[in-house]
Chains A and B, each alone.
Chain A
Amino acid sequence: GESVGLHLPTLSVQEGDNSIINCAYSNSASDYFIWYKQESGKGPQFIIDIRSNMDKRQGQRVTVLLNKTVKHLSLQIAATQPGDSAVYFCAENGASNTGKLIFGQGTTLQVKP
């Protein structure tokens, strides 16, 4: 079945360093991808999205890269801060036109002071 997976369950980085969170997706027909940040006990918050007609998109301190050839998605966070500590999820639309999303298992980002 469809699945979205993450390479590492936990990523620990030093404050001020750059973070890279990776994601593999399985449905080559997916044409929309999102990264969410979830803090403990809260709902996911939108970080950045990208469509399949792009391979890179930048936001404030974040960049998403999409490699359709190997079905890989990554989230880069520049100058990681303690407030970035959270679980990060990637999600894909699975080529569905219903708006529903398929989520990966999540990567926990720990920022060390």
Chain B
Amino acid sequence: DGGITQSPKYLFRKEGQNVTLSCEQNLNHDAMYWYRQDPGQGLRLIYYSQIVNDFQKGDIAEGYSVSREKKESFPLTVTSAQKNPTAFYLCASSIAGSGTEAFFGQGTRLTVV
């Protein structure tokens, strides 16, 4: 089945550690996105990529990094510089350009312990 897969579903991180969240899609979409969701709030854009080997910062990029070496993959690294990383992270993909729906993965819940 075509879709977008995030792993792991739950992730625990010690303070001071970097962790990487995986996002893979087989929809042949050019564009991919990472959003952060805090309890009772909407989604905020961290990073997005419209094409392989290119990505741009979103509204809350500080403390995060990404790479886009393959069309299918857009991993997100939460670095130790992110002061409040506990959140629900959602990856999405879409056909490049505006005016099309974004398809979401099932999310990764990151908790700092």
Contact residues of A: prevailing secondary structure: loop
Q: Is the CB of A99 within 8 A of B31?
A: yes
Chain B, residues 16-55, CB within 8 Å of chain A (1/0): the string is: 0000000000000001010100001111110010100000
B-side interface residues, number (CB < 8 Å)? 31
Decide yes or no: A99 and B50 within 8 Å by CB, A44-B90, A104-B42, A106-B41 being known contacts: yes
Distance in angstroms from B69 CB to nearest chain A CB is 20
Q: At the interface, yes or no: B100 with Cβ under 8 Å from chain A?
A: yes
In whole angstroms, what is the CA distance A42 to B86 when docked? 16
Query: Given A43-B104, A44-B90, is A96 in contact with B41 using a C-beta cutoff of 8 Å?
Result: no
Whole-angstrom distance between the alpha carbons of A31 and B95 in the complex? 17
Contacts of A100 in B (CB 8 A): 33, 45, 48, 58
Q: Which residues in A have their C-beta under 8 angstroms from that of B100?
A: 32, 99
A66 within 8 A of B: no
Q: Check A97/B107 contact, CB under 8 A, given A43-B90, A104-B42.
A: no
Residue from the list B44, B48, B58, B106 in contact with A43, Cβ < 8 A = B106
Judge whether B50 and A98 touch: CB under 8 Å.
yes
Task: Report the interface size for chain A: residues with CB under 8 A from the other chain.
Answer: 28
B42 contacts A43, C-beta separation under 8 Å:
no
Known: A42-B106, A98-B50, A99-B94. A34 touches B101 (CB 8 A): yes
- Which residue of A91, A93, A98 is within 8 Å of B48 (Cβ)? A98
Chain A contacts with B in 37-56, Cβ cutoff 8 A: 41-46, 49, 51
**The 4 nearest A-B residue pairs measured at CB:** A43-B104, A103-B42, A103-B43, A32-B99
Q: A44-B90, A89-B43, A98-B97 are in contact. List 15 more A-B contacts (CB 8 A).
A: A32-B100, A43-B92, A43-B106, A44-B43, A93-B98, A98-B48, A98-B98, A99-B48, A99-B50, A99-B94, A99-B100, A99-B102, A101-B43, A101-B102, A105-B40
